[in-house]
């Protein structure tokens, strides 16, 4: 089974690292990161 889109809930240190690791290993699909507004505003 192949995936065209992967959603990551929480794009902090671990979620962001997971997204980067997916790209580095050759994932060519869409990576969607979801986070709460308060978290994004603090960053």
Closest C-alpha among 5, 38, 37, 31 to residue 16:
31
Number of domains observed in the structure of the chain: 1
Q: Is 40 left (phi over 0), alpha (psi -120 to 50) or beta?
A: alpha
Q: What is the pLDDT of residues 1-43, one digit of tens each?
A: 788 999 999 988 999 999 999 999 999 999 999 988 775 566 5
Domain around 11: 5-42
Residue 36: per-residue pLDDT: 80
Integer Cα distance of 41 and 36 in angstroms: 9
């Amino acid at each position: 089974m192949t995936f065209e889109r992967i959603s990551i809930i929480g794009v902090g240190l671990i979620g962001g690292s997971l997204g980067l690791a997916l790209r580095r290993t050759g994932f060519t699909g869409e990576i969607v990161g979801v986070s709460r507004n308060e978290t994004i505003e603090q960053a």
